[in-house]
Amino acid sequence: MRKRPTATFAFIVLLFAQLQAQKKDVISGLKEKAITDLQSQYDKYKNIAFSIWSYAEVGYKETKSTALLQAVLKENGFTIESGVAGLSTAFVATYGSGKPVIGVLAEFDALPGLSQDTVPERKPFPDKIAGHACGHHLFGTASAAAAIEMKKMMEQGKLTGTIKLFGCPAEEGGSGKVYMVREGLFNDVDAVVHWHPGSDNATAIGSTLADITAKFRFHGLSAHAAAAPDKGRSALDGVEAMDNMVNMMREHIPQDARIHYVISNGGKAPNVVPDFAEVWYTIRHRNRNEVTRIFDWVVQIANGAAMGTQTKVDYEVLSGEYETLPNKALAIALQKNLEKAGGVNYTPAETEFAKKIQATYGYKVPPVEAAARVAPLLLENINTVFYASTDVGDVSWTVPTIGMSAATWAPGTPPHSWQAVACGGTAIGFKGMMVAAKTMALTGLDLLTDKALLENAKKEFNEARGADFKYKAILGDRKPPLNYRD
């Protein structure tokens, strides 16, 4: 015969329910305060982001940008460790102690060749060589704002745990995070939150492309191109022969693979047989093992091209990144906070600016009002692939990781464009940045207070990686290419 619950047991159940409700109310109150507090500091964070936008420093050269972010975090009670993983502009800012440890990623490098003023037509600055065409000035600032707000919520709610903001340089082709992962900086972290500027507000549920980038350097013999061509051996011939063979190889690789290259040095004068030439390659695919296989074939082609042109070739792997590993449990949690933060609403002047930007494209774009919307989370999209690469991939195979995009550019704007630079230096960019800061801060609070969320995220993470997984960087044990932008 089943015994009825005693009065004591019933009282315990009721008390537990009341405590859970009180905890939920406290967390809800902290989130409301965080949204209000972050919005009240809009001008402060706008000025920080605009300063970094103005610096426009390329990978591993972000001295002013990293110094500014470090100073802001230090002023707000974070302990700073600079120059981590052998990267002079990388840092880890830490607040608190003990478990859980919540990581926040921050980026701040710009792209060469994309200088642009804050106007809706092409207008580079004559004294600048780079621009924030991927919005990393917003990325770094919003991440710092989120970490600081998480710290405030911890103080208000008397919460325990640790916040670590990772200042990550050279995402654009330098694989800064890979060296930080390789150094073990993420080994004690329980979950990581990040974001990326974009033209919509959405939780990242799919994956990205793994990639390898390398420079192939051909060495020949110089000679007078007219008087003594037989005495020379053209390094440029080696590059062109390699490029031709790689282009023929495209027929025989998976159709969703990507191969891009630029001839970064093709000689100095047409009447001199060039004794040096260089070509810079990127190979991408959704699976890092396929990337490695294709890259090995490209190396064979380079050796064949050198043999056929009687030149010599060597190569340097500059970067290599895993595909990202999505996490449904974290995506669901972040989506709720993104919906709470909301989208971006433009003023009439901002609407006019956005429409002028959109008019520069030769394709159909979403309406300007799309920036105010939050995309629904479709969990079935976990198997989709975003056709770009990021060193966040290596982080995501080391610790459960979740990211999002915020509408920092006029709807329809592609990354790596002058239009993205222009939008990113205006209120259009700064407003989207604040959406990201609010969403990450609220998600960070959930991770600090919801033990079940972390347990579910880790369980999913471990199952996705597999029991036999061991991290090994695609780029091997090479030292960071600190001068890759020279």
Task: Please give the average per-residue pLDDT across 9-26, as a whole number.
Answer: 63
Query: What's the mean pLDDT in 400-419?
Result: 97
Does residue 18 lie within any of the structural domains? no
Q: Is residue 179 part of a domain?
A: yes
Q: Residues 129-186: pLDDT tens digits?
A: 999 999 999 999 999 999 999 999 999 989 999 999 999 999 998 999 999 999 999 9
Q: Provide the pLDDT for residue 21.
A: 61
Q: Are 387 and 210 in contact (CB under 8 A)?
A: no
Q: Identify the pLDDT of residue 25.
A: 77
- Residue pair 405/204 in contact (Cβ under 8 Å)? The answer is yes
Q: What average pLDDT is seen over the chain?
A: 95
CATH number of the domain to which 308 belongs: 3.30.70.360
Residues 39, 164, single domain; the answer is yes
Residues 6+ apart with CB under 8 A from 92: 80, 81, 84, 164, 165, 166, 167, 185
Instruction: Looking at the structure, tell me whether residues 135 and 186 fall in a common domain.
Output: yes
Question: Smallest Cα–Cα separation from 409: which of 388, 425, 385?
Answer: 425
pLDDT for residue 15 is more than 80? no
**Alpha helix (H) residue ranges in 425-472:** 427-449, 451-465
Based on the fold, state whether residues 104 and 192 are members of the same structural domain.
Answer: yes
Report angle CA 204, 210, 212 to the nearest 5 degrees.
145
The CATH number given to whatever domain includes residue 435 is 3.40.630.10
Q: Is the pLDDT of residue 366 over 70?
A: yes
Average pLDDT (397-421) is 97
Asked whether residue 278 falls in the same domain as residue 395, the answer is no
pLDDT for 10 equals: 62
**Domain region containing 351:** 23-206+325-465
Q: Are 83 and 180 in contact (CB under 8 A)?
A: no
- Is there a single domain that holds both residue 335 and residue 309? no
Give the integer Cα–Cα distance in Å for 410 and 171.
Answer: 23
Which of 269, 294, 321 is the last residue before a domain boundary?
321
Per-residue pLDDT tens over the stretch 331-352: 999 999 999 999 999 999 999 9
391/418 same-domain check:
yes
pLDDT in tens, 267-280: 999 999 999 999 99
What is d(CA 364, CA 359) in angstroms, rounded to the nearest whole number? 10
Q: Does 9 score more than 70 pLDDT?
A: no
How much of the chain, in percent, has pLDDT values that exceed 90?
Answer: 92
With respect to residue 473, please indicate whether it lies within any of the assigned structural domains: no
pLDDT greater than 60 at residue 14:
no
Query: In this model, does residue 418 exceed pLDDT 80?
Result: yes
Mean pLDDT along residues 393-402: 98
Residue 78, in any domain of the structure? yes
Q: What is the pLDDT of residue 20?
A: 60
Which pLDDT value is given to residue 11? 59
Tell me the pLDDT tens digit for each residue of 41-74.
Answer: 999 999 999 999 999 999 999 999 999 999 999 9
pTM, 2 dp: 0.91
Q: Poorest-confidence range of 18-32, 304-318, 324-338? A: 18-32
Give CA–CA dist 416/430, Å, rounded: 18
Q: Do residues 235 and 331 both lie within one domain?
A: no
Identify the pLDDT of residue 24. Answer: 76
Instruction: Tell me what pLDDT residue 342 has.
Output: 97
